[in-house]
Amino acid sequence: MHHFDKRDLRGRTAGYFHHALSVRFQDVDAAGIVFFARVLDYVHDAYVALLAELGSDLPSVLRERRWAAPLRHVEVDYFEPLRFGDRITVTAVAAHVAETEIVLGWQILRRDGVAAVAQTVHVFVDARSFERCAVPEPFAPLRAWA
């Protein structure tokens, strides 16, 4: 499995896809900062938006059982707290495309810098058999994001 270095992800200045959102009240914990797992919600929302941008509307893909891409591995490194009302942008900054999986590198940005970085590993499978399959053609542009 390919793995991005968190320092490399944090230091990247060019992003390939941007998804803006706000930290909601229900996303923060008793300490007043984003509950750690919510960052993965933000990344997944950006992933679904990225798929749509690539021409693969995820609800349609799943309904038609064309393929599935379950997560095999996720990790997040946190650098700065996120608080209720913060405007953030989840940015795809790197991708590694293998035969049957993709690794995506993400930055979670506030106006004052990188609050966190994440990486997600998606394994592509036939939606009917759940056997691994080749990365679908709509993901070909990600090969240039290394």
Instruction: Tell me which residues are annotated as active site.
Output: 29
Helices (H), 28-142: 38-53, 58-63
In terms of Cβ atoms closer than 10 Å to its own Cβ (0-12, 13-18, 19+), residue 144 is: exposed
Contact status, residue 109 vs residue 89, Cβ threshold 8 Å: yes
| Residue from 103, 89, 71 nearest 17 by CA | 89
Q: Specify which residues 38 forms β-bridges with.
A: none
Task: Assign 36 to helix, strand or coil.
Answer: coil
Place of tokens 């984003």: 34
The Cα–Cα gap between 29 and 33 comes to 6
Place of tokens 């999986």: 101
